Amino acid sequence: MAELTPPPSPSSSAAATVYLALGGNLGDRAANLAEAIRRLGEAVKIDAQSALYETAPMYVTDQPAFLNMAVRGTTRLEPAALLRFLKGIEESLGRDLGGLRFGPRPIDVDILLYADRVVAEPELEVPHPRMAERAFVLCPLADIAADIVHPVLNRRIDALCGEVPGRETVVRVAETL
């Protein structure tokens, strides 16, 4: 009888440091962020959280303000497996994954940085391809990763944050969740 070969593991043997952006503008925004962070703990060991920021919507502006933050943690999941895990959290918290792009949502969790890796796949780009144009991402990220260098732009996060348009629309509303 032939032995079955187990499927390849979506995990790596070494833990990677990841930076994630979290936000939402529907329902109890703070509770949604807190629940997303709790669920992240199943696969990501969170070791730093930014302050909370209220931000004006970008791209689709006729919607409620967002509550945004960033977290740092370590994971053994490879980037594609981490993305699937994050999408599962979003869906379980009520996000319509087929809904209006950039539209209202109870929760959004994005991979900003995965160690110093660059990933270019149809479903996933890391570093996040639009992070350098988003004050609502860079300001929270600078709280916990000011001296990290963007692996493609070769610029520090605090420098990118200091230059991004729209910084004035990002308002710190709480030091912690």
Read off the pLDDT of residues 150-171 as tens digits, 9 standing for 90 and up: 999 999 999 999 999 988 889 9
From the candidates 29, 72, 105, 134, give the one annotated as an active-site residue: 105
- Is 95 tagged catalytic? yes
Q: Which domains does the chain show, CATH number per domain?
A: 14-174 (3.30.70.560)
Q: Is the pLDDT of residue 148 over 80?
A: yes
Which DSSP state fits 84?
Answer: H
pLDDT digits (tens, 9 = 90+) for 16-73: 999 999 999 999 999 999 999 999 999 999 999 999 999 988 787 788 998 999 999 9
Q: pLDDT value at position 13?
A: 65
From the candidates 29, 39, 72, 95, give the one annotated as an active-site residue: 95
From the candidates 39, 108, 134, 143, give the one annotated as an active-site residue: 108
Task: Collect contacts of 123-127 with beta carbons under 8 A, ≥24 apart.
Answer: 123/80, 123/83, 124/79, 124/80, 124/83, 126/79, 127/151, 127/152
Q: pLDDT value at position 67?
A: 96
Q: pLDDT value at position 2?
A: 43
Residue 79 CB contacts under 8 Å (≥ 6 apart), including other chains = 111, 114, 117, 119, 124, 126
Q: pLDDT value at position 4?
A: 41
Q: Which of 87, 10, 21 has its CA nearest to residue 52?
A: 21
From the candidates 29, 72, 110, 134, give the one annotated as an active-site residue: 110
Q: How far apart are the first and last CA of the chain?
A: 55
